[in-house]
């Protein structure tokens, strides 16, 4: 709690930076959102000759495209921006690439997302993120008091925004998997926060006279070992995913690792300190006075 001012300052800076990067250079949207074509090819023999492939693709007039080595030396990923001229044009572009590269390649993966679908996925993504935030807030409000709901929402918001900021800053591919990771982070981060909130609520009833700062510190310390241990086990699982999960979900895994770190941090430095400014104690005591035998809404 002592470090709360530093924490707030740091988080505000982080959030502002995230927002700045988001508006300044945006996100490197994958084809899920932007529309376009993604092809993953593997040379049937030997390594993929990227320079030669690049030459072949360059002559096709496909507009903005990108060829990269990917995973093993025999593999390459081809990304092609959305082709003007609707859905059929995307298909023709895929055909062109196949013809240009010739028979020496296996097409391990071909994806294309038409312009309409991309827009719909963006909308669905935004709706899902907002709904997640509202749903989680509603649940906490229902189980705790409104202050907790606000604190939790601010924390989740912080974690989501900074994750988006990370993807903007590094220009890592932002696709449906990343979005899934962000929603999972929201769930995970709150998991942490709720555990501490639970303890705060318990301690508020137990130590009625204790100053809030001291009480929050106590609750944080009581739950700290759990917070750290769980973060560690989750992190171990994620490390396994990054190491062996393959390229397809590496974006997801990296986002999640960031989420676990930032989620743990924000639990200690944002979600709890924020409660200080929301006139906590009176509310809980009021609940206790009118309260049910179990003391309001908790079952200690």
Partner 1 sequence: MVHYPQWKAVLVLLACLAGMLYALPNMIPKSTLEQLPRWLPARQVSLGLDLRGGSHLLLEVDVNAVRTERLNSILDGVRTALRAAKGGYVNLGITGDAVTFKLRDPSERDTLLSTLQGVDNEAAVTMTPDGDGVVRLSELAVAARRKAAVEQSIEIVRRRIDETGTREPTIIRQGEDRILVQLPGVDDPERMKALLGKTAKLVFRLVDLRATPVELTSGRAPAGSEILFEESRQPGQPPVPMAIQRRVIVSGENLVDAQATFQNGEPVVSFKFDSIGARRFGDTTVENVGKPFAIVLDNKVISAPVVREPILGGSGVISGSFSVQSAQDLALLLRAGALPAPLTVVEERTVGPGLGADSIAAGVNASILGGVLVVGFMLVAYGLFGIFANIALFFNMVLIVALLSALGATLTLPGIAGMVLTMGMAVDANVLIYERMREEIRNGRSVIAAVDAGFQRAFATIIDSNLTHVIAGVLLFGLGSGPIRGFAVTLVIGIATSIFTAIMVTRLLIVRWLMWTRPKALPI
37-66 positions binding partner 1, by CB under 8 A? 40, 42
Q: CA-CA distances (angstroms) from residue 8 to 11, 154, 220, 267, 273? A: 5, 12, 17, 12, 9
Q: Give the whole-angstrom CA distance, residue 49 versus residue 67.
A: 11
Could you tell me which residues come within 8 angstroms of residue 269 by beta carbon, excluding any fewer than 6 positions away? 3, 4, 7, 8, 10, 11
Of the two residues 213 and 229, which places its CB atom closer to partner 1 in the complex? Answer: 229
Candidates 2-10, 62-70, 223-231, 261-269: pick the segment binding partner 1 (CB under 8 A). 223-231
User: Judged by CB under 8 A, does residue 136 bind partner 1?
Assistant: yes
User: Judged by CB under 8 A, does residue 146 bind partner 1?
Assistant: no
Q: How many CB atoms lie within 10 A of CB 222?
A: 14
User: What single string gives the DSSP state of each residue in 60-80?
Assistant: T--SSEEEEEESEEEEEEEEE
Of the two residues 112 and 269, which places its CB atom closer to partner 1 in the complex? Answer: 112
Candidates 6-14, 55-63, 112-120, 282-290: pick the segment binding partner 1 (CB under 8 A). 112-120
CB of 9 to partner 1, least distance (A): 28
Structure-token match 């530093």, residue found: 6
- Per-residue x/- marks for partner 1, 7-26, CB under 8 A? --------------------
CB of 251 to partner 1, least distance (A): 11
By CB under 8 A, name the one of 13, 50, 52, 236 that touches partner 1: 236
User: Judged by CB under 8 A, does residue 121 bind partner 1?
Assistant: yes
By CB under 8 A, name the one of 194, 262, 275, 284 that touches partner 1: 194
Structure-token match 């998991």, residue found: 191
Q: Nearest-5° angle of CA 248, CA 254, CA 123?
A: 75
Of the two residues 4 and 42, which places its CB atom closer to partner 1 in the complex? Answer: 42
User: Judged by CB under 8 A, does residue 217 bind partner 1?
Assistant: no
Candidates 51-59, 114-122, 164-172, 212-220: pick the segment binding partner 1 (CB under 8 A). 114-122
Rounded to the nearest 10 degrees, how much is the dihedral formed by the CA atoms of 250, 254, 150, 265?
160
Structure-token match 């092609």, residue found: 80
By CB under 8 A, name the one of 198, 203, 285, 288 that touches partner 1: 198
Of the two residues 50 and 229, which places its CB atom closer to partner 1 in the complex? Answer: 229
CB contact at 8 A, 142 and 270: no
Q: Give the whole-angstrom CA distance, residue 56 versus residue 33.
A: 27
Of the two residues 16 and 131, which places its CB atom closer to partner 1 in the complex? Answer: 131
């Amino acid at each position: 709690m002592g470090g709360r001012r530093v924490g707030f300052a740091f988080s505000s800076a982080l959030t502002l930076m995230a927002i700045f990067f988001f508006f300044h250079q945006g996100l490197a949207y994958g084809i899920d959102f932007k529309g376009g074509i993604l092809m993953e090819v593997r040379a049937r023999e030997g390594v993929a000759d990227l320079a030669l492939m690049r030459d072949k693709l360059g002559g096709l007039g496909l507009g903005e495209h990108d060829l990269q080595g990917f995973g093993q030396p025999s593999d390459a990923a081809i990304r092609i921006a959305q082709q003007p001229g609707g859905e059929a044009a995307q298909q023709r572009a895929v055909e062109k690439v196949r013809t240009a590269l010739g028979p020496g390649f296996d097409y391990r993966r071909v994806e294309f997302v038409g312009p309409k679908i991309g827009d719909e996925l963006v909308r669905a993504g935004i709706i899902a993120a907002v709904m997640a935030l509202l749903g989680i807030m509603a649940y906490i409000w229902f189980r705790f008091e409104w202050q907790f709901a606000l604190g939790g929402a601010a924390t989740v918001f912080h974690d989501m925004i900074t994750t988006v900021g990370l993807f903007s800053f590094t220009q890592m591919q932002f696709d449906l998997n990343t979005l899934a990771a962000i929603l999972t982070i929201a769930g995970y981060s709150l998991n942490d926060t709720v555990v501490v909130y639970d303890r705060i609520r318990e301690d508020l009833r137990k130590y009625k006279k204790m100053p809030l700062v001291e009480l929050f510190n106590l609750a944080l310390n009581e739950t700290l070992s759990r917070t750290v241990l769980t973060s560690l086990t989750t992190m171990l699982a994620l490390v396994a995913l990054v190491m062996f999960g393959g390229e397809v979900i590496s974006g997801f895994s990296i986002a999640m690792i960031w989420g676990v770190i930032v989620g743990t941090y924000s639990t200690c430095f944002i979600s709890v300190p924020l409660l200080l400014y929301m006139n906590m104690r009176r509310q809980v005591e009021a609940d206790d006075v009118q309260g049910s035998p179990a003391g309001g809404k908790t079952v200690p």
